Amino acid sequence: MLKSLLSAAILTTAVLAFTPSANAQMKVGILDMNAVFTQYYRTKDAEAKLNESRAAAKKELDDRLETLKKAMEEINKINADLEKPELSKDAKEKAAKSRDEKVAEARNLDREIAEFRGTRERQLQEQFVRMRKDIIDDIMKIVNDKVKSAAYDIVLDKSGMSMGQVPVVLFSAPNLDFSKDIIDTLNKDADKAAAPKK
């Protein structure tokens, strides 16, 4: 018992003695990667392009669904006509044949719509992943340049969450945060990028 208490005391003394010198030598930086990502002009451009792609896919899907709806209405009309007692046997046979053809077409269209929806969702997801990766690569290049020039030993992301959904950085002094520098550097060419090409 005494031995373990003595070991604990020695360990505590060693940690306290070591900590100030470690802090004096270590340069810590703090970043809010979520803020950097959302305030980067290329992120906004990417979101706009993604929304355009989503809108185009929705319009195409709506057009196909409208075609299917019309086909179903035609099938229902033929079914109603087949119930009419005044319809001749030949007319009923022709109507039944036409209905069966339209039912087959509607089934094919329904299958195509399901395939189209799945393909477009996958394409949009791939587009999102590709755009996000390009943006993160851009950000990390600027961050790495800043880390080298400022000689940071460690940089923490204050927007990060632990496995227990607790912020990774519980507290940091405001002067350690260099997020604004990164955002300003990333956005310095925003006006040039937005200008129409001649």
Tens-place pLDDT, residues 144-190 = 999 999 999 999 999 988 888 888 888 889 999 999 999 999 999 88
pLDDT at position 4 over 60: no
Would you say residue 78 lies in a domain? Answer: yes
Residue 197 confidence (pLDDT): 54
Confidence bin at 3 (pLDDT 50/70/90): very low
Going by C-alpha positions, the residue among 44, 39, 75 that lies closest to residue 181 is 39
Domains of the chain: total: 1
pLDDT digits (tens, 9 = 90+) for 7-44: 333 333 333 344 444 445 899 999 999 999 999 999 99
CB 52 within 8 A of CB 127: no
Residues 187 and 39 sit within 8 Å (Cβ to Cβ): yes
- pLDDT tens profile 35-80: 999 999 999 999 999 999 999 999 999 999 999 999 999 999 999 9
Does residue 11 sit within a domain?
A: no
Q: Is residue 15 part of a domain?
A: no
Range of the domain at 97: 27-192
Q: Do the domain assignments include residue 3?
A: no
Per-residue pLDDT band at 89 (split at 50, 70, 90): confident
Domain CATH code at residue 47? 3.30.910.20
Report if residue 79 sits inside a domain.
yes
Cα 112 from Cα 60, distance rounded (Å): 12
